[in-house]
Structure 1
Amino acid sequence: MIHLVLGGARSGKSRYGEALVRQYTALGFDACYVATAQALDDEMATRIAKHQAGRTDDGIEWQLFEESLALTALLKRLAKPGRVILVDCLTLWLTNQLLASNAKVDDEPAPTEWSGADLITSTSQASNDEALANWQAEKTAFVDSLAELEGVVVLISNEVGSGIVPLGELSRQFVDEAGWLNQAVAALADNVTLVVAGLPLALKPL
């Protein structure tokens, strides 16, 4: 069972995803939390600490796993009947993949909520092409693996295509890749929910 939860920054998508997990733990499922964020600076570390603190009293006994890159392999290892996995989030995983593949990037770390406006501002065309090629391979492996995963997997992802088109080639490429990733996952997902202002809207099944 794959459930994709989409939403903008501070839309309530993560909270909704956690509510879905709580429904399964009430049925006896054990819960895993897969975090894709990296604490690259003090501000990011503070954000992560707040997320962690919020999970201490949410009524869920989480098993925490932090994985910024090898998400596909981790999900294959964790997924099993009677388990629900929350991945927060796919767009940060995409960001990590693009940053890891680029030979030259700015020092600005990735934010926890992507608007797509300031991914990377300086890189060579060759490294950019390599980064996108590496990402396409990772994306294909990830999407192909979803149908094989047992148990329940709740995937959180940012909807970044509803705002202003960002400046910068790679920032625009990020928005494109995030949109295509969401489409590919949504096509395979059993359920897709869009969260706006804390309110869930079921997109699939209709």
Structure 2
Amino acid sequence: MKKLGTFPRRGPSGFFVGLASQGRTPSFRVSSSPPPTSLDPRCFILITGGTRSGKSRFAVELAGRFNSRIVYLATCRSGRDGEMRERIARHRRARPRGWTTIEHPRDLAGTITRLRGKAGGLIIDCLTMYVAELVVRGESDAAVQRKVRALCRAIRRVSYPVIMVTNEVGSSVVPEQELGRRFRDLAGLANQIAAGFADHVFLLVAGIPLALKGGDGLFVDVTDGTNAPT
């Protein structure tokens, strides 16, 4: 990937970012510095950010550091409406061929456990939709948090790297409806739980990944946006 006017900057926890100066939508390339090595086979990476901030794209790039046996767990229920179906189709097109996709598993923690020995790496996209599904099922606040903890414990027990995508949903106005406020609060609490379990936490802002926790040993080159979505 060609770099245009970039220079490396050391970010939090030794994470390096090459920032573009061309005023285009950023894209990125993930490698290791010093010389490339595979990611820790037991690492848990959490990626958070706002809508269309580049979270899923960054997750796919990071997963390229794993081996080819990637499993993609998509937590969103398909067929809700035309816009959601197109959103899901766009995510499907962005995944490399050869990856295995499991859509809308009801028992997320159990699915992760059953993938032992069958997956070389896992992407969960996303925690926010999983929380929404639990709320729709009528789970209590305590039950939602308990199931998120159980999910994170299941991730910590597997011997392959896991990337979890989530969303920052509480940075805007306070929702008018009680259900919206409850979901916002539960999504924020779920993110805190997951971040506590994760080895690495990245925040995506305007397509640029910022390391909030961990990040050592990874190099992210933020380039001119040639491959960024339009």
- Give the TM-score taking structure 2 as reference length: 0.69
**Correspondence for 2:166 among 151, 157, 160:** 157
- SS class of match (2:72): strand
Rounded Cα–Cα distance in structure 2 between residues aligned with 1:47 and 1:70: 23
Q: Distance in 1 between matches of 2:181 and 2:116?
A: 33
| Aligned counterparts of 2:205 and 2:117: Cα–Cα separation in 1 | 31
Aligned 1:7-156 pairs, distance under 5 A: 7-25=49-67, 29-39=68-78, 40-55=80-95, 58=96, 60-80=97-117, 83-101=120-138, 130-156=139-165
- Alignment check: 8 A CA contact 1:36 1:68 kept: yes
CA shift in 2, pair 1:81/1:54, >3 Å: closer
> What residue identity is the alignment partner of 2:48?
L
Distance, in Å, in 2 between the alignment partners of 1:131 and 1:152 is 30
Question: What is the CA–CA distance in structure 2 between the aligned matches of 1:43 and 1:202, rounded to whole Å?
Answer: 31
- The one-character-per-residue Cα deviations of 1:161-200 (angstroms, maximum 9, x if unpaired) are 2222211222111111111111111111111111111100
Q: Give SS of 2:170's match.
A: coil
> 1:141 and 1:43, CA in 2 relative to 1: closer, same or farther beyond 3 A?
same
Corresponding residue SS for 2:137: helix
> Is this contact kept in 2: 1:3–1:155, CA < 8 A?
yes
In structure 2, distance between residues paired with 1:72 and 1:171: 25
> Which structure: larger Rg?
2
The structure whose residues are more often helix, as a share, is 1
Q: 1:54 to 1:144 in 2, by over 3 A?
A: closer
TM-score, with structure 1 as normaliser = 0.76
Provide the C-alpha distance between the structure 2 equivalents of 1:194 and 1:79, rounded to a whole number of angstroms. Answer: 28
SS at structure 1 position matched to 2:76: coil
Runs of 4+ in structure 1 off by over 6 angstroms are none
Unmatched tracts of structure 1, length 5 or more: 102-129
1:187 to 1:133, Cα distance in 2 relative to 1, 3 A: closer
Indicate the SS of the match to 2:173: coil
- CA RMSD, 1 decimal: 1.9
Q: Distance in 2 between matches of 1:204 and 1:133?
A: 26
Instruction: Tell me the CA shift for residue 93 of structure 1.
Output: 0.7
Residues 8-52 of structure 1, C-alpha deviation per residue, up to 9 Å, x if partnerless? 000001100000001223xxx411111011122333222212221
Quickly say closer, same or farther: Cα 1:169–1:38, change in 2 above 3 A.
Answer: same
SS at structure 2 position matched to 1:37: coil
Query: Percent sequence identity over matched residues?
Result: 37
